[in-house]
């Protein structure tokens, strides 16, 4: 049985500027999944950098309020929203609330650095 506790996962700043903790990744554990699962945090008044993945992604918001941008579309989002991000779409999310914006990121197939492009570079 594999059980991962958020507090035991290494915290790092992703290329898009969000604070991530990777919970599950098939390349880092002996698990039969195709996707990766990460916990993300964006501070109040902050946002991620515009970026795109070659793969599909889903955000599931746990806490906070934000504004999601995918291509030319924008939507206000908050806790309990699931957001589908098609492969190749330029995306970013802004925290428009007073508390941390907390969400899960599911990438399928699993996230790899070579599959991500931060627009404007880092």
Distance, CA of 50 to chain centre:
12
Task: Tell me the whole-structure pTM to 2 decimals.
Answer: 0.93
Structural domain range at position 91: 11-118
CA distance 86 to 91: 10
Domain membership of residue 5 (yes or no) is: no
Domain membership of residue 111 (yes or no) is: yes
Long-range contacts of 21-28 (CB under 8 A, 24+ apart): 25/110, 25/111, 26/110, 27/110, 27/112
Model pLDDT for residues 92-108, shown as the tens digit of each residue: 999 999 999 999 999 99
Domain membership of residue 33 (yes or no) is: yes
Domain membership of residue 90 (yes or no) is: yes
Model pLDDT for residues 18-46, shown as the tens digit of each residue: 999 999 999 888 899 999 999 999 999 99
CATH code for the domain in which residue 96 is found: 2.60.120.10
Domain membership of residue 1 (yes or no) is: no
């Amino acid at each position: 049985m594999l059980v991962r506790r958020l507090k035991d996962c290494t915290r790092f700043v992703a290329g898009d500027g969000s604070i991530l903790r990777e919970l599950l990744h098939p390349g880092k554990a002996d698990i039969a999944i195709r996707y990766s699962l990460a916990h993300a945090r964006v501070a109040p008044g902050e946002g991620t950098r515009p970026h795109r993945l070659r793969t599909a992604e889903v955000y599931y918001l746990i806490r906070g309020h934000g504004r999601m941008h995918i291509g030319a579309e924008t939507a206000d989002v908050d806790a309990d929203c699931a957001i589908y991000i098609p492969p190749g779409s330029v995306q970013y999310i802004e925290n428009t609330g007073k508390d941390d914006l907390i969400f899960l990121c599911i990438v399928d197939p699993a996230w790899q650095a070579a599959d991500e492009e931060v627009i404007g570079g880092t």
